[in-house]
Amino acid sequence: MIKIGTPYKKNATRVMLLGSGELGKEVAIELIRLGIEVHACDSYEHAPAMQVSHFFHVFDMLDPEALRKYIGIIKPDYIVPEVEAIATEELVHAEEDGIKVIPNAQAVRLTMNREGIRKLAAEQLKLPTSKYLFASTEEEFTDAVHEIGIPCIVKPIMSSSGKGQSVVSFFPKIGSAWKKAQKEGRAGSGKVIVEEIIDFDYEITLLTLRSKSGTSFCEPIGHKQVDGDYVESWQPHVMSGLALIKAKEIAKKITDALGGYGIFGVELFVKGDNVWFSEVSPRPHDTGLVTIITQDQSEFELHAKALLGLPVPNINFLQEGASAVIKIEGDNSLIEYEGLEEALAKPNVKLRLFGKPKVKGKRRLGVVLAGDEFSHLARDKAKQAAVKMQVNLNDSIGPVF
């Protein structure tokens, strides 16, 4: 029997949230609705999830000593990773001490590193994937590019939102691709993966839930990326019945192998009836923000319930919908928003401003969500609303895209 204590009391049920961005903020809200005491952790102050949590803690989550220290201070019942950059060996120790790591320490370790998850998927589970090679040095990288062939894509084995990712279209650009991967990887310089570019029709995110009630799936989510980072998503994405069956089979195999409870964002390439595994995240996915408007339970509510061991007997799809991001480029810590009235003027539109405290480079600051009779209408509505939003950085209106 699951028992939930009272926040701020000695019997509180405590969740240590490792990563406090916009996805962590939504998870924190759902956990708080269930009576959980949430401790939001990140490397900088006033991150989005910290603004809605009971307590927040600022430290380098890649530092094993710092992570160990704060686990000891918080004494969490659950540790919920929401980012890649974590000293995963400490999660193994925490699990050995009886703390529940979501979905489990081994799954977090494997999925935080593209090498681990790709070898599990392609070499152990024999799932269809693109051709790939790993490289630890610039010389190995050059050899890998020649073997995989041009064009190919290079990514740090530890990164997200397109950071450090680039397409190598011709050989003179090899050096710049290597430098970009080394500079922008989540854990600094290190190994990269060089992948064949598959000639696919589209890519989807298949949100896969493992809960006390078994494995269930949300409707497939289509999405558009720019520079490896998502800018819009829609649900459902239309695909053939056979392709959807194959997608679910792949998603179940990889999530069964990882184990534990929670939502998994399984990314897949699709061409006709053929499906290839791309990546998996053992936590809510940014493209899944669209579920706030399309489902009776968003991916964040599903994650919160599942990780606590609660049953999730069904997921109801309510309406077709889309999301469009509010993103800006600049360098400032004084951010103001305008155009909210115009953005929300049409029916069935929602707005989420993440409350990020500063911008340095390109940064996603919010998302517009729209529902409509058909997903293409929802996409148009969401994009039109996002364009209405203006972001003011130190008295200059920045471009939103």
CATH of the domain at 59: 3.40.50.20
The H or E element that residue 176 is part of is helix 174-184
Q: Is residue 114 part of a domain?
A: no
- Which of 286, 299, 301, 320 is an active site residue? 286
pLDDT in tens, the chain (401 residues): 899 999 999 999 999 999 999 999 999 999 999 999 999 999 999 999 999 999 999 999 999 999 999 999 999 999 999 988 899 999 999 999 999 999 999 999 998 878 889 999 999 999 999 999 999 999 999 999 999 998 999 988 876 666 788 888 888 778 888 988 888 776 555 789 999 999 999 999 999 999 999 999 999 999 998 877 899 999 999 999 999 999 999 999 999 999 999 999 999 999 999 999 999 999 999 999 999 999 999 999 999 999 999 999 999 999 999 999 999 989 888 899 999 999 999 999 999 999 999 998 889 999 999 999 999 999 999 999 999 999 998 755 555 55
Same domain, 240 and 174: no
| Same structural domain, 318 and 213 | yes
Active site annotation includes 380: no
Among candidate residues 281, 287, 294, 375, the one labeled active-site is 287
223 and 165, same domain (yes or no)? no
Torsion of CA 328, 19, 225, 366, to 10 degrees: -40
- Active-site entry in 160, 211, 255, 298: 160
Query: 163: domain range?
Result: 131-196
Here the CATH number for the domain that contains residue 212 is 3.30.470.20
9 assigned to some structural domain: no
Residues with Cβ < 8 Å from 121, sequence gap 6 or more?
127, 129, 254, 277, 280
**Same domain? 268 vs 363:** yes
Of the residues 267, 301, 320, 372, which is catalytic?
A: 267
Residues 259 and 315 in one domain: yes
Q: Is 65 a domain residue? A: yes
| Residue 126: how many other CB atoms lie within 10 Å | 9
Specify if 109 maps to a domain: no
Q: Is 323 a catalytic residue?
A: no
361 is catalytic: no
Residue 349, in any domain of the structure:
yes
Contact criterion met (CB below 8 Å) for 127 and 258: no
Both 230 and 366 in one domain: the answer is: yes
Same domain, 310 and 188: no
Q: Decide if 162 is catalytic.
A: yes
Please, how many CA atoms are within 13 Å of residue 126, restricted to the half-sphere of its CB?
A: 0
Same domain, 311 and 325: yes
Q: Which of 156, 179, 196 is the last residue of a domain?
A: 196
Does residue 228 lie in a domain region? yes
Return the amino acid letter for 167: V
Phi, psi values for residue 208, rounded to 5°: -120, 125
Q: Are residues 289 and 391 part of one domain? A: yes
> Would residue 1 count as lying in a domain?
no
Is 364 catalytic? The answer is yes
H or E element at residue 89: helix 88-96
Residue 303 lies in a domain: yes
Based on the fold, state whether residues 86 and 215 are members of the same structural domain.
no
Number of structural domains the chain divides into: 3
Query: Are 248 and 138 members of one domain?
Result: no
Instruction: Read off the CATH number of the domain in which 162 is found.
Output: 3.30.1490.20
pTM across the whole model: 0.92
Q: 334 vs 78, 330, 360, 391, CA distance in Å?
A: 35, 11, 11, 10
Q: Which of 5, 162, 190, 355 is catalytic?
A: 162
Catalytic residue among 210, 283, 364, 379: 364
